[in-house]
Structure 1
Amino acid sequence: MNTTAHILLEWSPEAVVFDCDGTLMDSERHWREARNRAFREYGLQPPPGFAEQATGLHYEDCGRLMARSVHKPELAEGLTAALLDHFLELVTDDPVTMPGAVRIVRLLSARLPLAVASNCPRVVVEGSLERAGLRTHFRHIVAPDTGDRLRPKPYPDLYAEAARLCGVRPHRALAVEDSQTGVEAARRAGMRVLGVGPRPPGDGAAVRADLWLPALDAPELLAWAHSPGTPGPAPEP
């Protein structure tokens, strides 16, 4: 474990804000399948490497990217609508939590305010968490359709609003993310960031996160969550 990681796991934030897709819920696979189905609906094939480009994007941004990637910008509206329709069908039929998500959320919610900051529509996030038995552990759910003019990730708006609703300053809150888009949003909001899951390709997100762990059930993370801790100085960048 490097020095920054060690310092992060000795720190007790005053709130924790989780991403949803790919972090709490195993729904990134649903987005991938929804993108494939939307492409097929229009007789198209996703170009090589498209899945990596699309991970973490708001679905409207993803729909526009889909249209640009096949050089058919006029299809942006239709692809966006098809993408959301297919995703809603898939996530409703098969909601699954990521490894360790239920345990870590229950441990942390016993002593800290928790929130979710997601690029998904709010109704999707709330429905997924409800079906997973996690909704009651989160004080706030923040999505681009939550309030006026909240821009999706990689803009910092969702994380900044989540910290505000939890009653803490962003530098006193920890973000938990799985994508480069989300890590960038949290850092721009002024938050410390724990990355979880497969490391994104390249060095961008891994470098921007304070620590990257393979999953929410990583032993060192569970040990940190079990520790009572008291809020201390935020680790230096």
Structure 2
Amino acid sequence: MTAHRILSWTPAAVVFDCDGTLMDTERHWVDARDTVLREYGHVPAPGFSEQARGLHYTACGRLMAESVGRPELAEELTAALLDRFRQRVAAHPTTMPGAPELVRSAAQFAPLAVASNCPLEVVESCLDVAELRRYFDHVVVPDATTRPKPYPDVYLTAARLCGVEPARALAVEDSHCGIQAAAAAGLRVIGVGPRPAGPADALADWWVRSLEEPAVQGWAGARIPAQGSGPGSAGNGTP
């Protein structure tokens, strides 16, 4: 068990995934994928949701096109997927249990970043609605030079922007795809959600079912400086 690598340690930066970690949006992706596939006359196969979980939305669009036997429709399905997802997020923005409290505590002892496979405007909109955007110094998403998860690029970039070596940063992730990316970048990792069997289990240092667990909140709270002062920018202040 490697949980002591986190429990006995204070990270110099904390990098959060967004979907399924900060925001309860994974259900919106599932619903959007299923809706689009059914619009094209295809019923998702068992296990499709887990296969698509955490993928960049363009990779998910390609996977959907392949699943309906129409790879040439990848761009069309990607656009439809993103449209349906945005509609659902706008209608039902919800944070994950314990996420806002952990963000507010962590912001008092380390700079924070988000590393996500979602479009920048979607991530920032979610964080704004949840009143969490001000706590994050950086939001990193794939672009022309930054590959999506499971490549390590978004985590390497987030650590660099926070001014720390990856080994001094903590990632908080809920998907195998994201955990692969964070571990490959050299960050220590808290995995969130049901503990999986297989590779993801070994890649995360500490698995918790929810960020609201007392052990997680207590770990973060114990690292807040006595005066409650933030470590750097104004975005890291107390609420």
Please confirm whether the aligned pair reaches a TM-score higher than 0.5, indicating the same fold: yes
- Partner Cα distance (1:90, 1:165) in 2: 31
Out of 42, 45, 60, which is 1:44 matched to? Answer: 42
- Partner Cα distance (1:87, 1:204) in 2: 29
Whichever residue aligns with residue 203 of structure 1, its letter is: G
Q: What pairs with 1:199-218 in structure 2 (closer than 5 Å)?
A: 199-200=195-196, 202-218=197-213
In the alignment, structure 1 residue 158 sits paired with structure 2 residue 158: no
Q: What pairs with 1:159-174 in structure 2 (closer than 5 Å)?
A: 159-174=155-170
Whichever residue aligns with residue 78 of structure 2, its letter is: T
Q: Deviations over 1:135-184 (max 9, x none)?
A: 00000000013xx4111000000000000000000000000000000000
Contact 1:46 1:70 in 2 (8 A): no
Contact 2:114 2:139 in 1 (8 A): yes
- Partner Cα distance (1:139, 1:198) in 2: 29
- Partner Cα distance (1:220, 1:188) in 2: 26
Shift of 1:75: 1.9
Q: 2:85 is paired with a residue of what secondary structure?
A: helix
Contact 2:11 2:169 in 1 (8 A): yes
Shift of 1:218: 1.2
Larger deviation, residues 94-103 vs 33-42: 33-42
Contact 2:109 2:224 in 1 (8 A): no
Whichever residue aligns with residue 226 of structure 1, its letter is: G
- Partner Cα distance (2:18, 2:224) in 1: 25
Q: 1:17 is paired with a residue of what secondary structure?
A: strand
- Partner Cα distance (1:204, 1:15) in 2: 25
- Partner Cα distance (1:191, 1:142) in 2: 15
Residue 124 of structure 1 corresponds to which residue in structure 2?
A: 122
Larger deviation, residues 12-21 vs 42-51: 42-51
Q: Deviations over 1:177-222 (max 9, x none)?
A: 000000000011111111011234x311111111110011111111
Out of 169, 177, 180, which is 2:176 matched to? Answer: 180
- Partner Cα distance (1:92, 1:161) in 2: 28
- Partner Cα distance (1:191, 1:229) in 2: 21
Shift of 1:229: 7.0
- Partner Cα distance (2:70, 2:155) in 1: 33
Contact 1:47 1:70 in 2 (8 A): no
- Partner Cα distance (1:184, 1:112) in 2: 23
Q: 1:215 is paired with a residue of what secondary structure?
A: coil
Residue 7 of structure 1 corresponds to which residue in structure 2?
A: 5
- Partner Cα distance (2:72, 2:223) in 1: 54
Whichever residue aligns with residue 219 of structure 1, its letter is: P
Shift of 1:93: 1.1
Give aligned pairs, total: 225
Runs of 5+ consecutive residues of structure 2 not aligned to the other structure = 226-239
Residue 192 of structure 2 corresponds to which residue in structure 1?
A: 196
- Give TM-score scaled by structure 1 length: 0.92
Contact 1:13 1:174 in 2 (8 A): yes
Whichever residue aligns with residue 152 of structure 1, its letter is: P
- Partner Cα distance (1:39, 1:69) in 2: 9
Shift of 1:20: 0.2
Where has structure 1 moved over 4 Å in runs of 4 or more?
Answer: none
Runs of 5+ consecutive residues of structure 1 not aligned to the other structure = 231-237
Whichever residue aligns with residue 58 of structure 2, its letter is: E
